Amino acid sequence: MGTLTFLVDLIDRYIRPGRIDTVIHLGDQVYADCAFEDGMKLIKSIRKKEDHEPHTNQSEHQKHHGPVQLTSDQKHQIAEGYRDFYRRTWNYPPTREVLSSVANLMLWVRKIDYGSTYN
């Protein structure tokens, strides 16, 4: 059963007739692999730039091979990529109706902490 069929069935059989008042979402609210890849491209470009900068001492070398330090603009760019993906996904008419018609409890999945686990 596809997502569209599932959501339409959920709406028609359970939400509109008032048979349920809460939907529980268990992780992966959206499949945002494209937003994730865009964020990783940004981190890789920062890492590549850091690797070409001269290192004056060992601590400088370690600094450039530790977690990537993102500026607030870069963090905003990555977060906005995810926000845009969620907006587009949740604006899909059946999804929008489910989200606007009943209470929704969501468990979030954390794939990666940008900059701290990327090598």
108 or 116: which carries more pLDDT confidence?
A: 108
pLDDT digits over 34-93, tens only?
Answer: 777 888 888 888 877 766 666 555 555 455 556 778 888 888 888 888 888 889 888 999
Q: What DSSP assignment string belongs to 18-67? A: TS-SEEEEES-SS--HHHHHHHHHHHHHHHHHHHTS---SHHHHHHHHSS
State pTM to two decimals.
0.60
Q: Spell out the domain ranges in the chain.
A: 3-107
**Dihedral pair phi/psi, residue 111, rounded to 5°:** -80, -45
What does residue 67 show for φ and ψ, rounded to 5 degrees? -60, 145
| Sign of the torsion angle spanned by Cα atoms 108, 72, 40, 84 | positive
